[in-house]
Structures are given as structure tokens and as C-alpha cells.
Structure 1
Amino acid sequence: MSTIQGSTAAPRARGWDARLALSLFFITMVMEIVSLSYAKVATALPQIMTTFHTTQSGWLLTSSLLVGAVSSPLLGKLADLYGKRRVLLATIAVGWIGSILAAIAPTFGLLIAGRALQGALIPCMFLSYSLIRDVYPPRTVPFAVSIATAGLGVASVPVPFLNGWLIDTWGWRSIFWFDVLWLTVMAPAIYLTTPETPLRKKSRLDLLGFLLLGGGAAGVLVGVSFGQQWGWSSGSTLGFIGAGLALLAAWWLSARRMSEPLIDISLISRRPILGAAVGSGITYGVTVLSSTMLPLLAEIPRLAGGDYGLGFSPFRFAEIGAPNAAALVVGGILTGFLMRRISPRITMATGLLIQAVGALFLAFWHSTAPELIILACVVGLGSGLGYASTPNMVIANTPAHEQASTSSVVQICQTGLSACMPVALFVILAANVRAVFAGTPIYSGTGYQDGWFLMTGLALFGSLLLVTVFRTRSEPVVEESLVAATAVATAAEGAGTAQ
């Protein structure tokens, strides 16, 4: 690793001052918009479906998550080559363009394109933490990270009310215009207050791996999402799925042979790390399922839904979203206490089991506000346990010098599996259309029940894997000084997805 010197290098010896405090504030504000973006779009789904009369709403969520998952390792290497602040600002610029495109999109296809560009904002999370570590004075880094993550947790509870107010007052496009204004302010503010990292590392860009992985995943998801419409045995469906699988196979072979692949699959060859990747991927994935179904169930009028539907406005949906987010943060704090005595593998398995119980009850009881609020809190508690267990599984089973790279691979698994869930859910819902009103499908209660059954099965499967296949003879213990910080931090970041 080499360094460069210049006016942008940070004076690492000093402590806190006004510029550093402002830098932390603006970085945290960018992280806020990233962590809460999924919840905003999920809350607006009923209005968006009505506007475009589409059965492919899952792509509003999948496109962003998929781009974020595939681009993260590539942007990480670009940050090593050209500087983390420079790449952070570039991702904000791409997200800004995507927000404008989504806000003005006259067609559903352009809206999907805008959401895909917004996916470039997802790597801002790890880029921000890396930038803080590189350029802040060493003695300020732990406090800065704690403040940044605590800010995410605090914001996750009131933000559903902000989302609802925006959508109720100005329509669903307002959430994207809000992103545009927010990023317009944050980008120059970060440029002026945050120095560039002086650290550089020579790295090879695996563009082939990026194209193979992204194209393969997209091909499979397109085939699955349109299978109901095209016919599962049609040439188009089989062609997309087959081509996608072929590209994924080519990526796997390429990753095994290259010295610096897009994703170093050897990092997850160890059973505990593979367990962390699979367990956290399922935890995040089933949380996405609940985050998608809850606003749909709450905002559809009972007259349209038949045996479900509360007719809530987006603002009133915050009565469900805010407690759900609060329960997730509580689960993260609880994990911090439990892991002083229990392995993070067990706390993650317990979290998945709690999510499964909540989803199973939601399959039968989702027609009243108290039912949705109470069971959303149960699911949120399980999500918090799982989210907060993830970094501690990595820390407990990975040497210090490999933790950053291993964590990035685990995060890719989380985001990648999460990207598949909306498509799978809307395939199920599309097979259970109760009626079509003004071109907009109204899904039957049976469809939502099947969605909750899917979530139950996945969560139970993940919990079972963690207590059997990924069980090890010796369970390393996470240092007590790291437990609370990592647990609360990760739970806070996940609260935005869970709303």
C-alpha cells in the first residue's frame, strides 16, 4: 500500500473541531437516505402500482438492491485506486441522476432505470465507514462510528411519518424529489468538510466478473418474474433463465481462476463464514418480504381486499412501520447483552425462528391494525437479533486483517439474496389476482398468505441450517468491547429496510 500527500490529506494527529463535526453530520445524513430508501419505496408501492397498472412492482425494489450488490465490490476496488471520497461523491452523483429519473419517469421502465441508478447509493454505507477510518484522527474514529450508526437507529422510528407525509401531500414522486434535494445539499457539503484519504492500494478491476455476475442474476430474475405472464415453458422464460444460469456459472469459474476476482469466494470457504453469509442473507431476505407485504396489506381498502385491507394512508401506515423499526433496534440491543454468554450463531438462529413465528401468525391474522402492529414488532425483534449477530459472527471467526474483505463478501450475500425476494413474492401474488381495478391488480388474501408461508419456510430453513450444518465444535467468543457497538450499529442500519 502506498500513500500520497497533498492538501486533501487529513491531519490525523488532531482531535475534534467544527469541520470534523460537520463532516460527520453530512456523512451520516447520506447514510440515512441510503438505509431508509427501501422503506420509502415500499410504502409508496400501492400508489405506484395504481399509476402504472403493473404486476412487476417487485422490480422497483429488486433493481436497486441488485445494482447495489453487484457494484459494491467493484466500487470498493475503485476506492482503493482513486480515493474513497472521490468514489463516494461519484456514487452520490449517480444516485442523484437516478432520483431525478425516477421522479419524472413517464413510464414504468424508466422508473425502474431510475431505481437501478439509485442502487449505486448502497455502497455509500461501507465507503462512508472506510472514509471515517482513513481520514479521521484515530482517537475520534470509535466515537464517530458510534454516532453515525446511532443516528440511523434514532431516525428509523420517525422517518415512516415523514415518508407518509410526503406521499400523502405530494404523491409518490415526492419521495424521489426529496432524495434529489437531499443529495444536492450533501454532496458539496461532504466535499468541503471531508478530506480525501491519502491511502492508495493497487488493485485489478474485474470488469468481466461484474458483467457476468450482474447479467446472470438479472437474466434469472427476469425469467422468473415474467414466467407467469409468458408461460413457464415458453422459450422466452426458459431462455432468460438458462442464459442467466450460464452467465452465473461462467462467473463462478472465472472467480476461481482469477487472482483478484470481483468476489473472493475463498473467503467464505470456512464453514462459520459461510454460515454467516447464508444466515444473514436469509435474515435480510425474509425482512424484505415482510417490509413489502405490510404496506400493501395496510393501505389497500377493505372493500377492494375483501378479507384484508385497512385503507390506511401512507402517513397512517407509520403506526405499523415505526413500532416495527423500534423493535428491530431493541433486538440489536438485546443481542449485545446475549452475546456475552451465547454464540452469535445461536442468536441469529433465534432471530430467524422469531421471524418465522411472526410470519406464520401473519399468514392467518393480518386483517386488523392490532394484529399487524403486534406481529410486525415480533418480526422486527427477530430481524434485529439476526442483523446484529452478523458482524459478530464475522469478527469471532475471522482474523483481524481479513475482517474488512470478509465482511464485504457477507454483505454482498445479504443484498444479493434480498434482491431476489421481491421478484419471488410478486410471482406468488401474480398467481393470486382477486380482481383488476382500473388496470391495477388486487391480490387475494390467499396470495398474501402464501407470501407469509414463503417467509416462514425460509426463516425456519435458515434457523435449521445454523443449528445443524453450520454448527462447529468450538464457538469463539467476541471481545466484550466489540459486542455492543457492532450489535447496535448493525441493527440501526437495518431498521430502514425493516419498516
Structure 2
Amino acid sequence: MTSAPENVDSAPRPEPDPEPDATNRLDGASRLRIFAVILVVVLFAEIAALQYTMVASAARQIAPSFPSVGANISWMVIIFGLVGGATTPILGKLSDLWGKRRTMLMTGVSFALGTLICALTHTWWVFLVGRALEAVAISAPTVAYGLFRDILPRRYIPAAIGVIATGLGMSALAAPLIGGALMDAYGWRWLFWFLLIFVGVMMPLMWVVVPESSLRTRQRLDIGGALLLGGGVGLVLVYLSNGNTWGWGRLDSLAYLFGGLAALIAFLLVERVVAEPIMDPKLLFSPRVLVILGAATLGSMVIGIQGYSIPYMLQTPTQSQLHAQILGVALSGSGGQTLPPAMAPLFHTIFNSTLAFGLGATLLAYGYYSAVYSGGVGMLSGAGAGELARKTGPRLPLIIAMTMFTLSTVLYAYFPHSKWQYGLFAAVFGIGFGAFYAACPNLMIEAVPARQQGISAGMLGVVNSLATAVGTGVLTAFLSGHPLKMEVQIQGLPESATGGGFHVIPQLYAFSGYQQGLLVAAGCGAVGLIVALLMRHGRSPATGGEATDQGVPAQRTAA
């Protein structure tokens, strides 16, 4: 691949950067101090991942509290990615301007406020406002990457990045178990009370244990660009998630699509003229960075699709459970007509889809059947991939990640869904999950010098957040087009006596919708694998950014 014509460092800077190590680096600190800093930063950075996994896994249980929204219950997950994607670059720049620790603490305050709102409200749009405030914390891992680069001894940086990936695996492991126990005992609102307590404990620890980086660069905030990007993607996702209900070709539906596309085009034009864009075109189109962001987009779409579909599938009732529920409604008369108990043996239900994928699991059971495997393996994979990046380069972990992403989605789409198979498929996905979150940040750190770490980390955070939201939105489009339907038949009675024909079961979906979404994820993983195999960057051992800080220009090395 040819090199980019422009130097990615050519953008004018108001003042020179500090020396690479003039950042309060803990070179003389004890191992205990260094490990304490890593632990606290990682736990703090986990607040967004913990709640994402906890709330996304509980969507099936939260949905009955908002019955009017239907398939759009997924917007409690989508809005998290949209707002996180729009705010991450702004907060990435603020971290360069005000300090990375201070910025992380700011995200904690916003998260706490949003969590309090979600715990208290009974109104859907207010709940979404709370979710949006929580989403600001998505930037915490992105800022943490830069904080590690600034304050840790260089030999610890690649492994510390891997530990963040390990922490993401820990969140995937712990969230359904903690959330399931709380939900079974107290209801879903206690998910948010727990998260509020967690962030309330972590903020003082962050202030006391973690030193602030002294690296500062002047920044101009591209708020307009962030609004255009987040708004544009959001409008397109509104069209995707509601097109089946509204009508794909109706003018009022198409207005969302064309409005979103217009906003995205305006975003690209604005980024070319603003002094300090959230996605610097010179940096964006440098070979290394462009390839990394492309791989991150594909991998995050896989995570968005799997992260929403698998918990929902596993918590879908079995055919016998649904039959019993429908029969119970008929016997109680709550459906409008009362079925005499003597006719119960003659009562039959027919569904438009197999329900073999549903286990009727509670959130806690989902944790036992799936999350312990994906999260536990993800923890080990993240730590191992960080060490692998240090020894062989971060490209190999990316290859492993994309291979496992592709394999796991194909397994979910085409193979049976017993308890042990869910666990096996989750473990395969967990290998990819941990490796992915160790590979991409290390690839980016090795691609750009310290002065561009804030904007490059922000760009990576934007891509991860928005692509996850897009993946969930694409899945929602398939699910809304494939609702689960049932027909009631009573032996000896005409079809008209039972209402006739199939009727939609609210907030449950046919397997064909999940399968099509998973095949899109498999395609993303396969293309991502090709990108990783062709990537020329990341084949040398990770140095924690030392090579680029010493003057190796990112744009002069092929991708």
C-alpha cells in the first residue's frame, strides 16, 4: 500500500509538545504502586462496559416495563453507543486540555446522574435521557489508554492495555451474574442502584490513587462535528429500526434516512475546514490509522449484534413455556374469552418459527449458561493478547479476534442451541472479544506519536461506539421484520372461534431474524479477517508508543 501524501503530523500546533517522558511517568515507582494504579484505572474504566453488558443482557426483562415501544426497546442500547460515539472525541480532546484523570472523573459524575434517572423513572423518553448521560462514560477506556501511555513505565503499557481488555471480559462475566441475582431478588431497577454505588466507590479511589498526567496540548472542540456525526448515524438508525413498521418507501420514513445521510456528508465537509476536527482527515486517511479504524468498525459491529442477540435468544421462552402462558391467559379469561378447563387438553398453539434456540432462562441463568464462558475466556484472552502484542506485535491478536468472531457467529447461526453449545460458542466468542480489545488500542498507540494520542484514541472510541450501535440497529431491523407469531387451535372448533390466523407475540422474535443478523456479523468478521491478514502495520513487537515518539512517522510506513 502506498503512503499517504500528507504528513499526519503536519497540522500546525499552537505550542510544542512536552518531552515524551515529561508526563509524571512512574518510572521510579514500586511494582505495587504501578499495579494499584492499573487496577483502579481499569475498574473505573469498566463502569460503561459493566452497565452495557448488564443492561443489554436484561433487555428481555426490562421490555415489559415499556410495552408500547416494541422492538425499539433496543434503543436503550443504541442510544448508549450513539451518545458515546459523539462525546468520546470531545472528551478525548478535553483530556489533552484539562488532564486525563480529571476527564475520567467528569464522566463518572455524568454516569452517576444518568444512572439515578434510570433507577427512578417510569417514562420511556426520560429513561433514554438517563441512558444518554450514562453513555458519556464510554470515553473512559479511551482516555485510560492515553493515561497509561503518559504515566506508566513503557514496558508496562502493552500489558496494561491488555488488562483493560481483561477488564472488559470481567464485565461480560460479572454483569449478568450480579445483575441476575439483583433482578431475581429486587427487580431490574436495582441494576442501576448497584451501578450508582459502584461509581460512587470508584471515583474517590481514582482521585486518591491515580496521578494526573502533566501532558497538556491546546485543543479546539469540534462540537458541531460531533453533533453532525452522532445525529447523522442516529437518524439512519431510526430509519433502519422502524422502516419495517413505518414502511421502507414512505416519504416520512425516507426523510430520516436522507436527513441522516445529509448530516454525514455535512460532517465530512466540516471536518475538512475546521481547525481541529474530531476526525482529522490527514490522520484518518493515513494508511495505518485508516486500516485500524476499518478493522475496529467491523469488529465492533460483530460485538453489537452478538451482545444484543444472544442474551435475548437465550432468555426467549421455550415452546412449552409459551404454550403454558397462552393457555393460562385463555383459562383466566384475561384475553377476553374464558376457556373451560375441560377443554385445556384440546388447546393447541402453533408458532411461525422454531423455538429451539430459546431456553427460557432468567438473567442469572444466562450468566451461567453463556456469560461466564465469554467473559471468563475474554479475561484470559485479553491479558494473553496484550502480552502477545508485546512479543510479536498487535496484528496477530487482531487476526485471532476476527477468526473467532467469524467462527462464533456461524456457530450461533447454524448449529443447535442447547446449554452446553451456548457455552461453547460463547467461549469461542470470548477469545475474539479479549483479543480484539487488546489489539486495536495497541495498534493505534504504535501508529501515532504522543501528541496525536488524544485525537487518535478519540477516533477509535468513536468508531467502536458508533459501530456497536449500528450493529444493534441492523439487528433490530431484522428482528422487527421477523416477529414471533402464534396461532391458537382448539380441536373440534372452527378457526374463526379462536380469532383465526397468526397473531404477533409482543417483543419476541422468530429465529430467522436472529439468523440473518448473525450472518451479517459473520460477514463483518470475515472481511475484518482479510483486513488483518493484509495489514502490514503491527508486525513488530509493541513498544508502548516508544517507536513513534522517537520520530518514526506514522504515514511513512505502509499499513
Same fold (TM > 0.5): yes
Match of 1:307 among 347, 352, 356: 356
Query: Partner of 1:328 in structure 2?
Result: 378
Aligned mates of 1:448, 1:151 — CA distance in 2:
28
| 1:387 aligned residue | 437
Task: Report the CA distance between 1:312 and its aligned residue.
Answer: 1.4
1:392-407 aligned within 5 A = 392-399=442-449, 402-407=452-457
For residue 344 of structure 1, report the CA deviation from its aligned partner.
4.4
Alignment counterpart, residue 100 of structure 1, candidates 116, 120, 124: 116
Greater Cα shift, 235-244 or 177-186: 177-186
Residue 412 of structure 1: aligned partner: 462
Provide the C-alpha distance between the structure 2 equivalents of 1:301 and 1:100, rounded to a whole number of angstroms: 31
Answering whether residue 525 of structure 2 is matched by residue 459 of structure 1, we say: yes
Name stretches of at least 5 consecutive residues in structure 2 with no aligned partner: 1-14, 323-353, 487-502, 546-559
Is contact 1:280-1:387 (8 Å) kept?
Answer: no
Q: Give the structure 1 partner of residue 540 of structure 2.
A: 478
Q: 1:329 and 1:457, CA in 2 relative to 1: closer, same or farther beyond 3 A?
A: same
Match of residue 423 from structure 2: 373
Q: Shift in Å at residue 231 of structure 1?
A: 1.0
Partner of 2:197: 181
Q: Which moved more, 1:293-302 or 1:267-276?
A: 267-276
Letter in 2 for 1:310: L
Compared CA separation, residues 153 and 383, structure 1 to 2 (3 A): closer
Q: Is the 8 A contact 1:223 1:241 kept in 2?
A: yes
Pair 1:262–1:443, CA change in 2 (3 A): same
The answer to whether the Cα contact below 8 Å between 2:381 and 2:430 also exists between their aligned partners in 1 is yes
Verify: 1:433 aligned to 2:480, yes or no.
no
Are 2:158 and 2:542, in contact at CA under 8 Å, matched by a contact in 1? no
Residue in 2 that maps onto 1:49 = 63
TM-aligned CA distance change 1:10 to 1:243, over 3 Å: same
Task: Tell me the residue number matched to 1:266.
Answer: 282
**1:236 Cα deviation (Å)?**
2.0
| In structure 2, distance between residues paired with 1:46 and 1:336 | 34
Task: Specify whether residues 381 and 238 from structure 1 end up closer, same or farther in structure 2 by C-alpha distance, changes over 3 A only.
Answer: same
Moved more, 43-52 or 195-204: 195-204
CA distance in 1, matches of 2:244, 2:161: 46
**Equivalent residue number for residue 401 of structure 2:** 351
Task: Check conservation: 1:55, 1:430, Cα contact below 8 A.
Answer: yes
Shift of 1:120: 0.5
Distance 2:154 2:395 in 1: 31
Specify the structure having the higher radius of gyration (Cα): 2
For normalisation by structure 2, the TM-score amounts to 0.75
Question: What are the superposed Cα offsets for residues 395-434 of structure 1, whole Å, 9 maximum, x if unpaired?
Answer: 4544565455433322321222111111110110111111
**Quick check: 1:435–1:441 contact (8 Å CA) kept in 2?**
no
**Distance change in 2, residues 1:45/1:350 (3 Å):** same
**Equivalent residue runs for 1:120-131 within 5 Å:** 120-131=136-147
Shift of the 400–74 alpha-carbon distance from structure 1 to 2, 3 Å rule, reads closer
Q: Provide the secondary structure at the position in 2 that maps to 1:157.
A: helix
Give how far 1:435 is off: 3.0
Question: 1:176, CA displacement in angstroms?
Answer: 0.9
Q: CA–CA distance in 2 between the matches of 1:381 and 1:266?
A: 34
C-alpha separation in 1, matches of 2:528 and 2:149:
33
Superposition pairs of residues 1-150 of structure 1, within 5 angstroms: 15=29, 26-53=40-67, 54-131=70-147, 145=160, 149=164
Q: Take 1:33 and 1:117, find their aligned partners in 2: how far apart are those partners?
A: 13
**Amino acid in the other structure paired with 1:244:** G
Structure 2 CA distance for aligned equivalents of residues 31 and 332 of structure 1: 15
Deviation at 1:361, TM superposition (A): 2.2
Indicate the RMSD between aligned Cα atoms, in angstroms.
3.4
For 1:355 and 1:217, the matched residues in 2 are separated by 24
What SS class does the counterpart of residue 261 from structure 1 fall into?
coil
SS across alignment from 2:307: helix
**Structure 1 stretch displaced more, 118-127 or 24-33:** 24-33
> What is the rounded CA distance, in whole Å, between the counterparts of 1:344 and 1:18 in structure 2?
27
| Structure 1 residue 270: Cα displacement | 2.4
CA contact (8 A) 1:67 1:120 kept: yes
Residue number in structure 2 paired with 1:488: none
Distance of 1:389 and 1:24 partners within structure 2 = 18
Distance 2:41 2:383 in 1: 24
- Give distance in 2, aligned partners of 1:143 and 1:156: 22
Could you tell me which residue of structure 1 aligns to residue 366 of structure 2?
A: 317
Cα distance, 1:155 vs structure 2 = 5.8
CA distance in 2, matches of 1:55, 1:344: 38
CA–CA separation in structure 2 for the residues paired with 1:41 and 1:454: 23
2:297 maps to 1:281: yes
Q: 1:17 to 1:378 in 2, by over 3 A?
A: closer
Q: CA deviation at 1:21?
A: 7.9
Paired AA for residue 262 in structure 2: A
Q: Which residue of 1 aligns with 2:337?
A: none
Cα separation, partners in 2 of 1:366 and 1:69, compared to 1, 3 Å: farther
Q: Give CA-to-partner distance per residue, 1:232-289, whole Å, 9 cap, x none.
A: 1122211111111111111101101222112213212123321211112211220221
1:160 to 176, 180, 203: 176
Write the deviation string for residues 448-481 of structure 1: whole angstroms up to 9, x where unpaired. Answer: 22122221222223323444xxx36x55633366
Aligned equivalents of 1:281, 1:272: Cα separation in 2: 14
Q: 1:450 aligns with which of 492, 510, 516?
A: 516
Residue pair 1:284, 1:387 contacting (<8 A) in 2 also:
no
Secondary structure of the equivalent of 1:441? strand
Does 77-86 or 278-287 show the bigger shift? 77-86
Confirm whether residue 364 of structure 1 aligns to residue 414 of structure 2.
yes
Q: TM-score, normalised by structure 1?
A: 0.84
Distance 1:384 1:197, change over 3 A: closer
Shift of 1:384: 3.1
Unaligned ranges ≥5, structure 1: 484-499
Answer whether contact 2:401 2:435 (CA < 8 A) is retained. Answer: yes
- Greater Cα offset, 457-466 or 212-221: 457-466
Q: Partner of 2:71: helix, strand, or coil? A: coil
Q: Which amino acid aligns with 2:440?
A: T
Contact 1:83 1:200 in 2 (8 A): yes
**CA separation in 2, counterparts of 1:386 and 1:63?**
23
Identity, % of aligned pairs?
27
Q: Which moved more, 1:318-327 or 1:390-399?
A: 390-399
Q: Secondary structure at the match of 1:435?
A: strand
Instruction: Go from structure 1 to structure 2 and tell me whether the alpha carbon gap of 1:274 and 1:13 turns closer, same or farther (over 3 Å shift).
Output: closer
Using a 3 Å threshold, how does the CA distance of structure 1 residues 383 and 476 change in structure 2: closer, same or farther?
closer
Aligned residues: 474
Equivalent-residue separation in structure 2 for 1:409 and 1:57 (angstroms):
28
Q: What amino acid does structure 1 have at the position aligned with 2:458?
A: S
Aligned to 1:216: 232
